[in-house]
């Protein structure tokens, strides 16, 4: 019985990440500073399946009906910025 429950927990751990983002995520209201282009003061950023699919001004970007929305008013988003500071190796 113990090995069966251990197997079930192990299977659950491997299947959860596959379903981690079944809905698009919308981050709205933040100042968005794209790596190329001018800053957007009241922006929308949409992430679907781990990929940024849209960036723009609020009202100019259609938001999917099933999206999980996060109000980031007063925050700053810098999509595409990668912090490569590392001490690995």
- Residue at 62 is within a domain: yes
- Would 4 be classed as within a structural domain? no
SS3 label, residue 86: coil
Question: What is the total count of domains within the chain?
Answer: 1
pTM equals: 0.69
Question: 20 pLDDT exceeds 70?
Answer: no
CB 30 within 8 A of CB 22: no
In-domain check, residue 40: yes
Domain membership of residue 12 (yes or no) is: no
Q: Output phi, psi for 46, to 5 deg.
A: -115, 130
Residues 6 or more apart whose Cβ sits within 8 Å of residue 64: 23, 24, 26, 46, 48
Q: Could you give phi then psi for residue 54, rounded to 5 degrees?
A: -155, 140
Who wins on pLDDT, 42 or 88?
42
Note whether residue 36 is domain-resident: yes
In a domain, 1, yes or no: no
* Domain enclosing residue 62, as ranges: 21-89
The verdict on residue 29 lying in a domain is yes
The answer to whether 5 and 23 have CB atoms below 8 angstroms apart is: no
Q: Tens of pLDDT along 32-65?
A: 999 888 999 999 999 999 899 999 999 999 999 9
Distance, CA of 39 to CA of 45 (rounded, Å): 13
CATH of the domain at 34: 2.30.40.10
């Amino acid at each position: 019985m113990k090995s069966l429950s251990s197997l079930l927990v192990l299977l659950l751990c491997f299947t959860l990440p596959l379903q981690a983002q079944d809905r698009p995520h919308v981050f709205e209201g933040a100042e968005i500073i794209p790596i190329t282009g001018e800053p957007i003061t009241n922006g929308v950023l949409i992430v679907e399946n781990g990929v940024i699919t849209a960036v723009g001004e609020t009202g100019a970007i259609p938001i999917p009906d099933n999206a999980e929305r996060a109000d980031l008013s007063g925050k700053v988003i810098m999509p595409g910025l990668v912090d490569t500071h590392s001490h690995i190796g």
